[in-house]
Structure 1
C-alpha cells in the first residue's frame, strides 16, 4: 500500500482509537489526513496535535454508520486536502484500510466506498450475538 503522498480518511468507531493509526500515516509520509471520531472534540484535538506543513490534518465529528456522514467526510477531505486515496476504519478490535485506487472505475466511487466501508466496519467490530430461542427473547420479538 502506498502511503507516501496519499490523502487518508480515518474513521474511528465507538471504542476505537485513531491516534496510533494517524501517527503511523503521518510518519509514513501521508500528504493529508482527515480524522473522524464519534466523540466531539477528540478528532479535532488530535488534528491540532498532528497538523504540520506537508501533512495538514483535519478533525471532525462523524459517524461512518451513516452514509450521509461518509459522504460528508469524503467531501470535506476532498475540499481541504484533495482526492482521497485511502479510507481507514479503526475500531475497538482492529483496523481496516480501503485503497480507493482498487475500486472498479465503472462503478460510482461513493457507492462502492460505502460498500467497502460497511465491509471494513464488519471486520473491526465483533459479530453481534444472535437472539436466543428463550421464551423471553420470543416475547421481546413479538412486541
Structure 2
C-alpha cells in the first residue's frame, strides 16, 4: 500500500512504537494521522509535532474504540490504515497473578484488535482497500519467560491477525502482524530482558520496517530477523526448543532471586 494521501489511526501512539509509527505515517505523506492513547497529553504532543489529531482512547473499552473511529471519520472522512498497536506489560509472573491482570491483558492484546476490526474492516471491504496492522510481539511467535499473561495474550493477537488475513485478505483488506523483540520503549527494561538477546531497536527502526512490509503487503513484520530463525527452529523440533526455553526460564528465576 502507498501511504501517501491515506488516513491512518495509531493506537498507543503517544510513546514508543506507536509514536514512531505516527511520525513515520506523517513522513510518508498520510493526509491524516490520528494519535490515540490513554495519555491524551502525550498524544497531543506527538500530534502537534506531526500535524495530526490526538484522541483519548482506552482500547480496553469497545466504546472508546468506536468513538475513536467516529471522530476520525468526522475529521477525515474514512479510515484507510488502522495500526492496532496499544499494549501493556503488567507485572512479571505466571499462574499466581490475579485474574484482573489476566483480564486486562486479554482486553488490550486480544479484544482491542477484534473491536477495532469490527469498527473499520466493513468500510475497508466496501471500498475494496484498507490496511490493518496488529502489533503482537516476538512473544506471540515464540514466548517470553518473564510474564505468562503477556506471552499468552500476544499469541492471541497473532492468531487474530492470521484469521483476519485469512478471512479478508482476498476482499481488499491487507493485514500484517508486527512481532519485534526488544524495542526501546517505557515497557522494556534497560537490558531488554530475555527479548534483548538480539539487541534493542529504536521505535524509528521498527516503524521503517513496518512501512517496508506495508509496501510489499506481506504478513509478518520482523524488525529482528533472527526471530524467523527461532520460529523455524521451534517448528522443526518443538521439544528441543522447549528445553532451551526452560533453561532460559531457570536463568531468569535465578537472576530474580
1:24-66 residue CA offsets vs partner (Å, 9 max, x unmatched): 1111110101110122301111111111xxxxx1002211221
| Alignment partner, residue 48 of structure 1 | 48
| Alignment partner, residue 148 of structure 2 | 129
Gaps of 5+ in 1: 52-56, 106-115, 131-143
1:117-143 residue CA offsets vs partner (Å, 9 max, x unmatched): 8xx36x24956626xxxxxxxxxxxxx
* Higher-strand-fraction structure: 1
The number of residues matched between the two structures is: 110
**1:65 corresponds to 2:84:** no
What is the SS of the residue equivalent to 1:18? helix
Max radius of gyration: which structure? 2
**Alpha-carbon distance between aligned partners in 2 of 1:124 and 1:8, rounded to the nearest angstrom:** 21
What is the Cα-based RMSD across aligned positions, in Å?
3.6
Considering Cα pairs closer than 8 Å and 6+ residues apart, tell me whether 1 or 2 has the greater RCO: 1
TM-score (norm 1): 0.61
**1:83 corresponds to 2:78:** yes
**TM superposition shift of 1:13:** 7.5
- Residues 38 and 63 in structure 1, CA contact (< 8 A), matched pair in contact too: yes
Gaps of 5+ in 2: 89-112, 127-131, 141-146, 150-257
Distance 1:14 1:60, change over 3 A: closer
TM-score (norm 2): 0.36
| Alignment partner, residue 35 of structure 1 | 35
